[in-house]
Amino acid sequence: MWIKTGKWTLGMLLITLLVCRDGWARDHENALKVTARVDRTTVELYERLALEVIVEGPARSLPAPAGLQLEGLKIVGGPQSSTQVQMANGAWSSRLSYTYQLRAEKEGSWTIGPIPITFQGRTYQSNSITIQVKKPEAPPAQSGIDSDSNVPNDRQSDLFVWATVSNPEPFVGQPIEITYELFTRIKVVNFEPERIPEFSGFVVEDVELPERPVVTNRTLNGKEYATAVVHRAILYPTTAGDLTLEPFAVKFAVEVRGRDPFDDFFQSPFGPPGRSSLFSQHQQEIRQSNSISLHVRPLPVEGKPESFSGAVGEFELKASAGKTTVQVGEAIVVEATLTGQHGLKLLSIPPAASITQFKTYEPKAGDVVPNPARPGWSMRTVEYIYVPFEQGQFEIPGIEFSYFDPNSSSYKTLRSDPIAVFINPGPSGEGIPVMARDQRGEIRLLGKDIRYIKTSAPIRSHIEPYRTPWFWGSVLFPFPVIPAVVVMSRRRRKMLEDQGYARAIRARGESTRRLANARSLHTNASFRECLDEMAAAFRGYLSDRFNRPPASISPEVIRDALTSYGVGADRIDSVLDIWETLASVRFSPVNPDPDSIARLMDRVSECLDELEKSRWKARTARSCRSDRA
């Protein structure tokens, strides 16, 4: 019962999980992305700036941002909108852009956003941006106008380009912002860069400006000007010393004032070309900005860390691993996030830590994106891949990143925490996987890596086993052994079955043993015992051969038996002579002569040898069988 209930509950739980997962996936797919950005974060009082709100999402139509709450800033233009809609794989996706013209109304630090947008019952929010509004700086001098410019003199002061840098004494590698601003009192229909400086001695990172320039009104030397940024870039000095930034030349199409009485009425700088008076015409004007001298300071040699690779500014570093328990051959991805104000795009990526038990791959750095948690800062994510070769518990060292902090004029080193990982054994027989990044930068499995060479193997030349002598010896070994075993087994069986045969086979061996015993007794001067042993050997041999009890052996029996077996008369007489000699010597009251005993022993031995050699041996065996039958 419990099992049934448990199964039902488990099933419902799984279904619920699937539904939730499906719902989450749909929500995730339908999520909107709302991004807010401005052309600059620091403006002077009453200066204009452009705010762009971008809404991206998987729908054909997207809602416009509403409820833009601003403090210290005022909307003076817009919104101008643009829409991009596309369909891919049966799914719509759109991108809406709304650009507002803002004007700074109060000094201080003001925050734009987060801007809310409601879509399909859900509210999404953009990032927030902080704008610094400061007092207007002193107006540029009239000397900023290029005297060599080939334009009428009376128009030079009405149209000029002014360059400013954020820091005239940066360190090598420290990013500085250069801004080229147009000042005009005449109507500019269009403009384009005529000559962009080479910026030799710098690495340049252009800053994207709004498509339509943001116009600000400023008063210089008592004259009212319309101003707009025409070019902005981040420069990274590469060498120390005094450097000069070349002028930036801009070609303008300006409207030449005619005698149209309505000119003043329609007069407006940066006006559209469509409203031209019948009496006005366009004229090309070229203006060059002022040159700027910089004093680039070298980085101090003392205290430079080994991991320093030229980053100058202010940075933060965090790292984490998605999965810390994996199998051998499975990739571990460590994601590090670098945050900083400038220079993230150009700085060298910290290298991956080298670990013996891991194969490491080139880190992949993502795009530089605004840091939502810290306005004005950007962030960049770097992926490190480690593929373990061995099982066990290991530690991936923290990622180290050093930079020079120009505010404190010192080097600083950031180090993320080490990450403990647990590697379980992987499936056997498979090679180590090889990962690589495809054209989109995604990691994919290329295949298996080449397994390493064998280094500890003893070098003995291999011979096919069937070519070796031991193989053929093993194969041929049974051929002589089998017949021998068969013969021996048959003999053994016969000896077990036929007692006469067994006695006949053992007769000579037994007599030889007894004669040897008699010889040792003779050596020890035990002559009587020697004679008894000799007689026992002789009698025992004959009784075994005749397959009779020892007590039944007599001269008559010997003669009859040997005669029936075809032994010659001389041999029979010799045997009987020994028989009688033994009997007489044994039972004689006189002590026997040792020499005669020795000679007798030799005679006995020779006699038994002769009998053994004679052919009656075989006949004895046959007759024994016939007797038994």
Partner 1 sequence: MRLIFGLLLILLGMGKVSAEDSFQALFDRANRHFESGDMDSAQGIYETMVRQGCINLAVYYNLGNCYLHKGDIGRAIAMFLRAERISPRDTDLQANLALARSMIGQPVELPKVNVFIGWIQRLHRSLSTFELVVSALMAYFLTITASLAVTIDSRRRSRRRYIRIAVFSAILFAVGAIGLGVRVHEREFIETAVAIQDEVSARTGPGDHFTEVYQQQAGYEMRVLRHQGGWAEVRLGNGFTGWVPDDSIERL
Footprint of partner 1 on this chain (CB under 8 A)?
428-431, 447-455, 457-466, 471, 474-475, 478, 482, 485-486, 489, 493
Q: State the minimum distance, in angstroms, from the CB of residue 353 to partner 1.
A: 21
Residue 155 dihedral angles phi and psi, to the nearest 5°: -100, -15
Q: State the minimum distance, in angstroms, from the CB of residue 466 to partner 1.
A: 6
Q: How many CB atoms lie within 10 A of CB 279?
A: 13
Q: Which is nearer to partner 1, 440 or 454 (CB)?
A: 454
* Nearest C-alpha neighbor of 134 from the set 255, 19, 252, 49: 49
379 bridge partner residues:
339, 369
Residues 6+ positions from 15 with CB-CB distance below 8 Å: none
405 and 314 in contact (C-beta within 8 Å)? yes
Q: Which is nearer to partner 1, 135 or 462 (CB)?
A: 462
Q: Which is nearer to partner 1, 429 or 549 (CB)?
A: 429
Q: Which is nearer to partner 1, 135 or 454 (CB)?
A: 454
Q: State the minimum distance, in angstroms, from the CB of residue 465 to partner 1.
A: 4
Q: Which is nearer to partner 1, 310 or 426 (CB)?
A: 426
For residue 228, which amino acid is it? A
Q: Which is nearer to partner 1, 8 or 471 (CB)?
A: 471
Distance CA 41, CA 39 (A): 7
252 and 288 in contact (C-beta within 8 Å)? no
Q: Of all helices (H) and strands (E), which one includes residue 188?
A: strand 188-195
Distance CA 190, CA 495 (A): 132
Taking the alpha carbons at both ends of the chain, their separation in whole angstroms is 86
Distances (CA, A) of 545 to 14, 395, 532, 567, 629: 98, 92, 20, 13, 16
Q: State the minimum distance, in angstroms, from the CB of residue 359 to partner 1.
A: 15
Q: State the minimum distance, in angstroms, from the CB of residue 9 to partner 1.
A: 42
* Nearest C-alpha neighbor of 310 from the set 341, 251, 350: 350
For residue 32, which amino acid is it? L
What is the token pair recorded at 500? 């006469």
Q: Which is nearer to partner 1, 489 or 564 (CB)?
A: 489
| Distance, CA of 434 to chain centre | 8
Per the omega criterion (within 30 degrees of 0), is the bond before 114 cis?
Answer: yes
* Nearest C-alpha neighbor of 132 from the set 183, 73, 179: 73
Q: State the minimum distance, in angstroms, from the CB of residue 462 to partner 1.
A: 4
Q: Of all helices (H) and strands (E), which one includes residue 233?
A: strand 223-237
Q: Which is nearer to partner 1, 491 or 586 (CB)?
A: 491
- What's the full length of the chain, in residues? 629
> Exposed, middle or buried: residue 73 (CB in 10 Å: 0-12, 13-18, 19+)?
buried
Q: Which is nearer to partner 1, 474 or 564 (CB)?
A: 474
Q: How many CA atoms lie within 13 A of 105 on its CB side?
A: 9
Distance CA 416, CA 100 (A): 41
* Nearest C-alpha neighbor of 175 from the set 374, 376, 441: 376
The DSSP call for residue 414 is E
Q: State the minimum distance, in angstroms, from the CB of residue 387 to partner 1.
A: 15
Q: Which is nearer to partner 1, 1 or 484 (CB)?
A: 484
Q: State the minimum distance, in angstroms, from the CB of residue 203 to partner 1.
A: 35
DSSP string covering 106-167, please?
Answer: SSEEEEE-PPEEEETTEEEE---EEEEEEPPPPPPPGGGS-TT-SS-HHHHTTEEEEEEES-
Residues 6+ positions from 326 with CB-CB distance below 8 Å: 332, 388, 421, 422, 423, 424
Q: State the minimum distance, in angstroms, from the CB of residue 88 to partner 1.
A: 33
Q: Which is nearer to partner 1, 329 or 406 (CB)?
A: 329
Q: State the minimum distance, in angstroms, from the CB of residue 364 to partner 1.
A: 25
Q: State the minimum distance, in angstroms, from the CB of residue 450 to partner 1.
A: 5
Q: State the minimum distance, in angstroms, from the CB of residue 503 to partner 1.
A: 22
Q: State the minimum distance, in angstroms, from the CB of residue 351 to partner 1.
A: 20
Q: Which is nearer to partner 1, 329 or 375 (CB)?
A: 329
Distance CA 201, CA 236 (A): 8
| Distance, CA of 121 to chain centre | 44
Q: Which is nearer to partner 1, 15 or 487 (CB)?
A: 487
Q: Which is nearer to partner 1, 222 or 429 (CB)?
A: 429
Q: State the minimum distance, in angstroms, from the CB of residue 491 to partner 1.
A: 12
